[in-house]
């Protein structure tokens, strides 16, 4: 299975190959064509290094486009950097791997996240985030972006027929 990084890297290599081909066949001086091919060859490791470096950094929620319609995400962890940013580790529905994101700092958002995490801990549930990639204005005007869902009800007990204890039966007579 090819991951997203592999797909992007293949696209980068194809672009570099096209640029190198144009550089080779362009009606220019030889030194210009050699420089064009050398630049295309240097583009490949630079593209790989930049994509690999981006993998370790949280993505701003404002540029998420693949999951922009997600209605909800589970907050697995967070770090609030006062006055700078809010870092989130989110589990998106249907995704196997969690992802790191960064929100612009807002005191209201930070307070709401802190309170939702405290409430979730008290209830024994997870912290959730509504519309994590919605428009910025929608996030700022939302009453509740982070929340702790109620604890799910316990499953009903089923009666096991092999149980040695039986319910008392009324006497007839």
DSSP string, the chain: ---HHHHHHHHHHHHHHHHHHHHHHSSS-HHHHHHHHHHHHHHHHHHHHHHHHHTTSPEEGGG--TTTT--EEEEEEEEEETTTEEEEEEE-TT-SS-EEEEEE--HHHHHHHHHHHHHHHHHT--EEEESTTS-HHHHHH-S-SEE-PPPPPPPPPPPPTT-S-----PPP-
For residue 137 the two structure tokens come to: 């204005």
Low-confidence ranges of the chain (pLDDT < 70): 1-5, 135-143, 159-173
For residue 63 the two structure tokens come to: 């540029």
Torsion of CA 88, 100, 104, 149, to 10 degrees: -30
Q: Specify the pLDDT at position 77.
A: 94
Asked if 58 and 66 count as a contact pair (C-beta separation under 8 A), the reply is: no
For the whole prediction, is pTM greater than 0.75?
no
Q: Specify the pLDDT at position 48.
A: 80
For 17-37, the pLDDT digits (tens) are 888 888 788 788 888 888 888
Handedness of CA 111, 112, 117, 118 (dihedral sign): positive
């Amino acid at each position: 299975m090819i991951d997203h990084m592999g797909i992007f890297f293949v696209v980068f290599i194809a672009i570099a190959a096209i640029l190198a081909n144009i550089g080779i066949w362009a009606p220019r001086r030889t030194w210009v064509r050699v420089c064009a091919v050398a630049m295309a060859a240097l583009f490949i490791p630079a593209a790989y290094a930049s994509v690999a470096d981006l993998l370790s950094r949280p993505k701003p929620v404002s540029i998420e486009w693949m999951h922009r319609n997600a209605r909800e995400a589970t907050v697995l962890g967070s770090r609030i950097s006062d006055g700078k940013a809010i870092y989130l580790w989110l589990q998106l529905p249907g995704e196997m791997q969690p992802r790191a994101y960064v929100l612009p700092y807002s005191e209201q958002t930070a307070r709401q996240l802190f309170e939702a995490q405290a409430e979730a801990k008290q209830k024994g549930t997870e912290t959730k985030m509504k519309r994590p990639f919605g428009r910025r204005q929608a996030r700022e005007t939302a009453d509740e972006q982070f929340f702790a869902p109620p604890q799910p009800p316990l499953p009903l007990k089923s009666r096991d027929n092999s149980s040695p204890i039986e319910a008392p039966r009324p006497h007839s007579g």
